[in-house]
Amino acid sequence: IAEMRINDLTGNTLEFGPTIMQWSEDLAQWSDEDGGLTCAYMTDAHRKSAEQLATWMREAGMQVHIDDVGNVVGRYLSGNPNAKTLLTGSHYDTVRNGGKYDGRLGILLPIAIVKYLNQQGEKLPFDFEIIGFAEEEGVRFRSTFLGSNAITGRFDLNLLDAKDADGITMREALEQAGHNVANIPGIARDPAKIAAFVEVHIEQGPVLVGKGLPLGVVTAIAGSSRYLVELKGLASHAGTTPMYMRKDAAAAAAEIVLLVEKRCANIESLVGTVGQLQVPNGSVNVIPGACKLSLDIRAADDKVREAAVKDILDGINEICERRFIEAKLEKVVEANAAPCAPWLMDQLGAAVETTGLPRFDLLSGAGHDAMAIAHLCDQAMLFTRCGNGGISHNPLETMTADDAELGAQALLHFLRNFKAK
């Protein structure tokens, strides 16, 4: 049916889908690690990916520059000097061993549309700007949304001193890549010149695939709290130290993992994850004297999330006191839920319906650059279905050319009919 609908719609074979899928494959060739896709901020693979995006944008007829936090920015000019700019885009960094479409789809799909418009000689009545945000996942320097925060003027310059696992500071990484950190504040956009922001992204979850729908319109992006926890106990001999005398940091961490799981269970849209858990320099025959873990708590409702975070932090205190463990917590992300703008959702929904699909609204449990750009202008998101049951942040992340096509057809219709607020 999708095949038939697409042929009806375009009157010929797929316009955008195969290009988007091929570019996704091509872009995935650059990875920090062999086997699997890892593209962390300002690594060599990250810089090569930026250059490739810039090339595709240029070939599509866009004015292109790479700014000093590494955002790849392409502008498709309207020729109307008074027109406000419509922003779109997503991130091109990835999680470790991630998927090819997370973030990248939201850059490649609009480039394919601009390439088509440019070939047709069709201008839009507004300047259309595609931004490949340089960093959203927080893999190398822990902080997230570096690219989109620079665009909204909220880049925290103190982060330039943050060090990666090898002790390299963000400032050094940027300067080694030829960037001038003095220009970062100047990256901020003037809100008066921006009409809105729309991000196309894979859903990264099971809802659309469960509904059998290729596209969805996002209602809100869940808020999230991220902490790094360092537990300090006492390393001692695994054979001679009686159980009741131990200060076992890993056992405390294990209780914390189950506390998070229990506290977040069975509460609508509340999720909690310990994604990183390690015993630094652990040995089989040594009681773990230290343990590092991460907390990621999210919910659609900020009050629900804040209550869960409070209970979990109180719980960590109770576990550590009982086990004579010291805990050091560092809050690395606190982002409130970002509701999408109804006026934009309606225009996106109408565009989805032109592809012959029903409008279907859903929450985004995943964080997105749109929640950072929400500090600059109204935002909305278009989701495309994830295959393999919706898995993401995993090499099994997948999507189809048909769904990419439908997403592109919908966004093209949205652009051609966009009415600024």
What is the binding site for ligand HGY (CB under 6 A)?
A: 136-137, 366-367
Residue 212's CB: how many other CB atoms inside 10 A? 7
Is residue 15 a contact point for Mn ion (CB under 5 A)?
Answer: no
- Smallest separation (angstroms) from ligand HGY to the CB of 365: 7
Structure tokens at 9: 């719609």
Candidates 98-106, 155-163, 214-222, 252-260: pick the segment binding Mn ion (CB under 5 A): 98-106
Q: 114 vs 370, which CB is nearer to ligand HGY?
A: 370
Is residue 102 a contact point for Mn ion (CB under 5 A)?
Answer: yes
Is residue 103 a contact point for Mn ion (CB under 5 A)?
Answer: yes
- Smallest separation (angstroms) from ligand HGY to the CB of 136: 5
- Smallest separation (angstroms) from ligand HGY to the CB of 367: 4
For 379, list phi and psi in degrees, rounded to 5.
-140, 155
Type of residue numbered 249: A
Type of residue numbered 179: H
Candidates 107-115, 321-329, 365-373, 378-386: pick the segment binding Mn ion (CB under 5 A): 365-373
Q: 109 vs 371, which CB is nearer to ligand HGY?
A: 371
- Smallest separation (angstroms) from Mn ion to the CB of 398: 15
Decide which of ligand HGY, Mn ion, none touches 129; Cβ closer than 5 to 8 Å per partner kind: none
- Smallest separation (angstroms) from ligand HGY to the CB of 54: 23
Q: 39 vs 194, which CB is nearer to Mn ion?
A: 39
- Smallest separation (angstroms) from Mn ion to the CB of 60: 21
Q: 251 vs 371, which CB is nearer to Mn ion?
A: 371
Structure tokens at 333: 């992300």
Structure tokens at 274: 């310990």
Q: 131 vs 231, which CB is nearer to Mn ion?
A: 131
Q: 275 vs 280, which CB is nearer to ligand HGY?
A: 275
Candidates 114-122, 224-232, 281-289, 367-375: pick the segment binding Mn ion (CB under 5 A): 367-375
Q: 199 vs 405, which CB is nearer to ligand HGY?
A: 199
Decide which of Mn ion, ligand HGY, none touches 272; Cβ closer than 5 to 8 Å per partner kind: none
Is residue 47 a contact point for Mn ion (CB under 5 A)?
Answer: no
Decide which of ligand HGY, Mn ion, none touches 369; Cβ closer than 5 to 8 Å per partner kind: Mn ion
Whether the CB-CB separation of 199 and 369 falls below 8 Å is answered with yes
Contact pick of 93, 369, 402, 405 for Mn ion (by CB under 5 A): 369
Contact pick of 368, 384, 406, 415 for Mn ion (by CB under 5 A): 368
Is residue 110 a contact point for Mn ion (CB under 5 A)?
Answer: no
Residues 6+ apart with CB under 8 A from 371: 145, 221, 335, 337, 338, 379
The alpha carbon dihedral of 160, 161, 162, 167 has a sign of: positive
Whether the CB-CB separation of 65 and 186 falls below 8 Å is answered with no
* Site residues for Mn ion per CB under 5 A: 90, 102-103, 368-369
